[in-house]
Structure 1
């Protein structure tokens, strides 16, 4: 494992496999920093592939090689975020990806390769792919509804999904870092 990956994992307590969506930052970044703890921790706008993943101390050359192989077997794809949605009646505001199925296939493929690490520890069965904007836990409903109104005016957000990022950090502000990325099939290295 190279030094850059080691540095990305250093001091971390958790890892996650995510699809970063930098194109969403201008649209939702301000709202995420106010309402989404993952943004406070330092995670960019993203769709989760698998969280939690293996502990940082377990990430080694074999884990990275297995991830590279399974993800290279999944095709790159284009995705558009055209609408907002809510988990619970009004608990978590998020963007819906279109299409959703390629994200589900990424999650299933990685989970099949690492069966001891179910998505969200198995709490949600087949999890809904989403890009979180914020939770009511970090703000009031009126603030989230206002954020939703503003975000809707700037949709759609379009991205090319051609890699998955291994990120690592703690539940501390600014602690999450990129460890490495894995290209999907057909994506440039």
Structure 2
């Protein structure tokens, strides 16, 4: 989710759209539980499609139908995770190729322009799977060394999940299948 958040920064009613990457869990679960606030708040290993999305109070049957329509036009795809990269204060895995992820984000943001990716804070969409936030170089180097023997892995992406923060934890509210 938002890379500079802590669990207390998440607000009840916030929503996001993610793709789960269950194949990443064996490699990153322990690190994420310790070093990624979104993991401690209940978010599985994932790549964010759009955060924040609409407030939960705005998500009704029409929004669900529109999400199903927009996402169903995009085919399922595979991602490969072979390497780590860093943003300032953040270690993440790089999904390759990331074109389909960018297309999903753009399609949702075009349909709901009031919900730009990351609240409009960043000009470029950079799909990523966050592992650790707010750590110094030696910790990130230790994680990278650990992950070097666990990579690569591949994940098949066939749906996008809508998650909602209930004030304490993130909960999955709906899953939208991608097309065939």
Same fold judged by TM-score > 0.5? yes
Match of residue 126 from structure 1: 124
Taking the TM superposition and a 5 Å limit, the aligned residue runs for 1:1-189 are 12-88=12-88, 91-135=89-133, 137=134, 139-170=135-166, 172=168, 175-186=169-180
Mapped partners of 2:38, 2:57: distance in 1: 21
TM-score between the two structures when normalised by the length of structure 2: 0.91
Structure 1 residues not aligned, in runs of 5+: 1-10
Q: CA deviation at 1:147?
A: 1.1
SS in 1 for 2:49: strand
Superposed CA RMSD in Å reads 1.4
Task: Indicate if the aligned counterparts of 1:19 and 1:165 stay in contact, CA closer than 8 A.
Answer: yes
| Per-residue Cα deviation, 1:144-180 (whole angstroms, up to 9, x for no partner) | 22111101210012110110000011564xx111101
Given that residues 41 and 171 in structure 1 are in contact (C-alpha distance below 8 angstroms), is that contact kept between their aligned partners in structure 2?
no
Unaligned residue ranges in structure 2 (runs of 5+):
1-10
Q: TM-score normalised to the size of structure 1?
A: 0.86
SS in 1 for 2:38: helix
- The range that moved more, 162-171 or 49-58, is 162-171
* Contact residue 81 and residue 98 of structure 1 kept, 8 A: yes
Confirm or deny: 8 A CA contact 1:41 1:170 kept in the other structure.
no
What does the per-residue CA deviation read over 1:83-138, in whole Å, with 9 as the maximum and x for residues that have no partner? 000012xx110000011111000000011111100000111112200000011x2x
Task: Give the stretch that moved more between structures: 143-152 or 155-164.
Answer: 143-152
Which residue of structure 1 lines up, in the alignment, with residue 7 of structure 2? none
